[in-house]
Amino acid sequence: MNNPKQLETKKSIRKKVLIPGQMNLLTEDLEDDRTPVEIEPEIIKVAEHKRERKAKATHEVMFANLPVRQVKVDTLSEEEKECPLCGTQMTAIGTEIVRTELIYHPAKLERVEYIGTTYECPACKDSLEPQFIKDEGKPALIPHSYVSSGLAAHVMYAKFVNAMPFYRQEKDFENLFGIKINRGTMAHWTIYVSEKYFSPLYNYFHRLLLSRRFLCADETPIQVLKEEGRKAQTKSYIWLFRTGEDGGNSIILYHYAATRSRDTAVEFLKGAEKGFYLVADGYGGYNKLKDIRRCCCYAHIRRYLYEAIPKGKENDYTEPAVQGYLYINKLFDYERQYRQKCCQKNNWKIVVSKIRNLSLRLF
C-alpha cells in the first residue's frame, strides 16, 4: 500500500515555506469570505494583416562595421583578353565588385618591451652627488606583472561572457600560442582588476542607484567553495538591486552576502531618498526598510495563481485563481500601454498613478 506522504502533489509541496522568512502567497490557513465574481472573457478582434517578406540584407548592411580591403582581380591571360571577332587586344573600361568574402585572422599575442632612458646632469656628473633620472613610462596595469589591459579584458570576457573557465583558457593559450599562463594567475588578474579598477565604478553606480525613485530587489542562494570559516555546503546569497523603468538608464548591481540577513538590504539601500518605491517578492526581510513604498511583484503573484488553477479548469472563469490570473494579465496590458505613451515624455509619475489606481480597482 502506498505511503500517503508519497501521494503529495507538486502544488502541495510548493505551498510549503521552503526558505525561512519567505512568506507564502497561497497558504491554506488564509480565509477569504469574498464570493468569487464571475467575469466574462475579453474577446479581442485582431485585424487581418498580410505578412510582408523582409528584404534580404545586403553585404553593406551585414558587414558595415568591418574594415574593407579591395583586391583587384587579374586572372585573364593576354590571349583571353583578345577580341573573339577580330583578335584586337581589349582595353579596360571599368571595374565592379564581383564577389565578397570574409578573411579570418587568428588572434595573436605580441611581446612588447618598453625601453626607458636614463638621464644625467652633465654639470654634476663629476661632483660628489651626480644627479640621474630615469623615464619609467606609464605604470603597469598590475605591479610586477606582464599582463596588459587588453589581455586582462580578454581573459575576463572569455570567463564571464563566453563562460570559458580559466582551465580551458589555460589550454587555449598553450595550444594557440605555445605559452603557459596558469589559471591561478588569470584568477589573480581578475580579482586585482576588479578591486582596483572596477570598485570605484561600482561605487559610482551605487550612488546613482540610490538617487532613483523606483528600485527592484531580489536574492538567490549560491554555494561558495573554500570560503574561510564556512563549509562548502553552506548557503550564501547573491543580492540583485536594479532601477525600475523610470525613463533613465538602467543600473543593475550584484551584491554578495554570506547570509540572507535583512540587514543586507538595509545597508545596501542606506542613503536612498525617502519614499522611494521598492518592488520585491514576499521575503519578510525587506520589512526592515523604513520610509519606503514597498510594492508587490505581480509576476510572482501571477505565477502562484497560475499554479493554483486546477487541471482542466484553465478556461473556467468562475475559478478564483483564473480570475486573478486574468486580472493581472489585464494589468500588465495597461502597464505596457501607459509605458509607451508616458515614458517617452519621462512622465513616470503619471505611469505610477495610473497603475496604482488600476491595482486598487482590480484587487
pLDDT at 332 over 90: no
Burial class, 241, CB count within 10 angstroms (exposed 0-12 / middle 13-18 / buried 19+): buried
pLDDT score of 357: 62
pLDDT score of 10: 46
Average pLDDT on 45-62 reads: 69
Cell readout for 296 is: 508587490
Run of H or E including 254: strand 252-257
For 243, 278, 281, 330, 340, the CA distances from 336, given in Å and listed in that order, are 18, 19, 21, 10, 6
In this structure, the number of other CB atoms found within 10 A of the CB of residue 219 comes to 21
CA end-to-end distance (rounded Å), the chain:
45
pLDDT at 341 over 60: yes
**Identity of the residue numbered 73:** V
Least confident of 4-18, 60-74, 156-170, 344-358: 4-18
Higher pLDDT, 340 or 228: 228
Contacts of 289 (CB under 8 A, 6+ apart): 265, 266, 269, 278
3-state DSSP assignment of residue 294: strand
For 8, 12, 158, 320, the CA distances from 313, given in Å and listed in that order, are 20, 17, 48, 11
Residue-wise pLDDT tens digits, 68-109: 999 999 999 999 999 999 989 999 999 998 888 999 888 899
Please tell me the distance from the alpha carbon of residue 67 to that of residue 85, in angstroms, as a whole number: 42
Q: Indicate the DSSP class of residue 343.
A: G
DSSP string covering 53-91: PPPPPPHHHHTTTS-----------TTTTB-TTT-PBP-
3-state DSSP assignment of residue 221: strand
Cell readout for 269 is: 539601500
Helix boundaries (H) for the chain: 10-14, 59-62, 149-160, 166-177, 183-193, 199-210, 263-268, 298-308, 320-342, 348-362
Q: Indicate the DSSP class of residue 125.
A: T
Phi, psi of 185 (to 5 degrees): -65, -45
CB-based contact 307:273 (threshold 8 Å)? no
User: Number of C-alpha atoms within 13 angstroms, CB side, residue 89?
Assistant: 3
Q: Is the dihedral of CA 79, 80, 84, 86 positive or negative?
A: negative
Residue (of 210, 216, 218) closest to 274 by Cα position = 210
Sheet holding 277-280, edge to edge: 252-257, 235-243, 214-223, 277-280, 293-296
Please tell me the distance from the alpha carbon of residue 98 to that of residue 85, in angstroms, as a whole number: 26
pLDDT at 7 over 50: no
Name the pTM for this structure.
0.66
CB-based contact 301:359 (threshold 8 Å)? no
* Residues shown for the chain: 363
Under the banding of pLDDT at 50, 70 and 90, the label for residue 36 is low
What's the mean per-residue pLDDT of the chain? 83
